[in-house]
Every structure is written in C-alpha cells, then in structure tokens.
C-alpha cells in the first residue's frame, strides 16, 4: 500500500500568511521556510532589477 502513496503526485506546498501553524509537522514547517526564503530572494532580485532600471533612466534624463 505504501508504494501506491509514493506514486501519487505530492500536493504543491502553499502558504498563506497568518495561517494556523499548529497542525503542521516540523518537516512541513521546514519546507515552508525554504519556500518563503526562495520567494524573498526572488522578490529582492526583482526589486534590484527595477531599481537599476529606474537609476539608469534617472541618470539618462539628468544628463
């Protein structure tokens, strides 16, 4: 029976800010921390790109 469970696709990890964490296992919490850390990194990279574009435009129009 365990092999049948292994064949099923695993549910995608999602996290809702402020949700109840009491029902999550340590493994679930660790996975969510990794998910959130990767999302923070993605947001920081997007912000850096936008900041660089804005700075380049500001520098071009100030000349």
DSSP string, 1-63: -HHHHHHSPPPPP---TT---TT--HHHHHHHHHHHHHHHHHHHHHHHHHHHHHHHHHHHHH-
pLDDT at residue number 4:
63
Give me the percent of the chain exceeding a pLDDT of 70: 89
pLDDT at residue number 23:
94
pLDDT at residue number 62:
79
Task: Tell me, yes or no, whether 51 lies in a domain.
Answer: yes
Residue 54 lies in domain: 27-63
CA distances from 40 to 7, 9, 23, 60, 61 (A): 31, 26, 24, 30, 32
Q: Please list the ranges in the chain whose pLDDT falls under 70.
A: 1-6, 63
Task: Tell me, yes or no, whether 56 lies in a domain.
Answer: yes
Task: Tell me, yes or no, whether 45 lies in a domain.
Answer: yes
């Amino acid at each position: 029976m365990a092999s049948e469970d292994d064949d099923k696709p695993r549910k995608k990890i999602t996290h809702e800010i402020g949700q109840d964490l009491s029902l999550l296992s340590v493994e679930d919490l660790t996975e969510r921390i990794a998910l959130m850390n990767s999302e923070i990194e993605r947001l920081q990279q997007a912000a850096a790109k936008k900041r660089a574009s804005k700075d380049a435009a500001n520098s071009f129009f100030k000349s």
